[in-house]
Homo-oligomer: A and B are copies of this chain.
């Protein structure tokens, strides 16, 4: 069995879809850096291109805007007919990123360009590492952006997610245009989880302006203004707790259940 999205191809053209991770080059995999190094041409949204700026010297760089994802996918596939092209996407390109739209466009157009999706550290994982270990077991990943998913559908999923009483990670938690999406999500969480449930917000993990907030579901409302589109919000599950010592809140831990089996 051949494990590859690469198709048989007789030219040198190929397209790498690369997750940049949180934004610090040290948090990219060697495979991602190697593929970026190989590329003749790099295409992406300006924000993510700037994060990998030291890797772009001597390459053709195609900057594309937010909201132009379909055009960007078409452009990347066209360029990759006879060149090595790297498309950059924040975090992991397969999670709220560019991988699916590129594959959709390739599928519909019958493109024969060889495509490889190269994994990256998704925001849930990078942000979690700065908070301690909030995602140790089962968890749910949700985006609050209703640009591509209808709001009623997001609310339906959130209700079920919080009923699982496992940690829920919120991507795109609060945009300037729709600050109330967060308020509504938290109202749904409070139907199913106690006010003492730990909440963590990680802003700009591993990037300039890194900041974090540790609070509880009952007190979170007072901090909504802290949350922006560069933040990831963690709502704890029923076993999640805040790890405190004499210096204050050190982090958030969701135990894996060893306490049910061992004394320590």
Contact = CB atoms under 8 A, between A and B. Distances in A.
Contact of A243 (B93, B103, B247, B255): B103
Interface stretch (A49-57, A119-127, A182-190, A217-225): A119-127
A229 interface: no
A89 to B, nearest CB: 11
A214 to B, nearest CB: 10
Interface footprint category on A: 35 or more
A164 to B, nearest CB: 5
A92 to B, nearest CB: 5
Contact of A257 (B138, B148, B161, B250): B148
A157 B95 CA distance: 22
A148 B260 contact: yes
Number of copies: 2
A70 B264 contact: yes
Contacts of A250: 5, 7, 107
Interface string A206-236: 0000111100000000000000000000000
Contact of A118 (B129, B156, B257): B129
Given A21-B29, A125-B122, A129-B94, A253 B3 contact: no
A1 B31 contact: no
A245 B156 CA distance: 34
Interface string A127-139: 0111011111111
12 contacts: A1-B211, A26-B29, A94-B125, A99-B133, A101-B256, A103-B132, A104-B258, A104-B264, A107-B243, A121-B121, A138-B143, A149-B257
A243 to B, nearest CB: 5
A177 interface: no
B137 A140 contact: no
Contact of A97 (B107, B136, B251): B136
A45 interface: no
A104 B240 CA distance: 11
Given A21-B29, A104-B255, A138 B125 contact: no
Given A133-B94, A243-B103, A255-B104, A140 B140 contact: yes
A74 interface: yes
A65 interface: no
Contact of A94 (B120, B136, B149): B136
Nearest to A246: B110
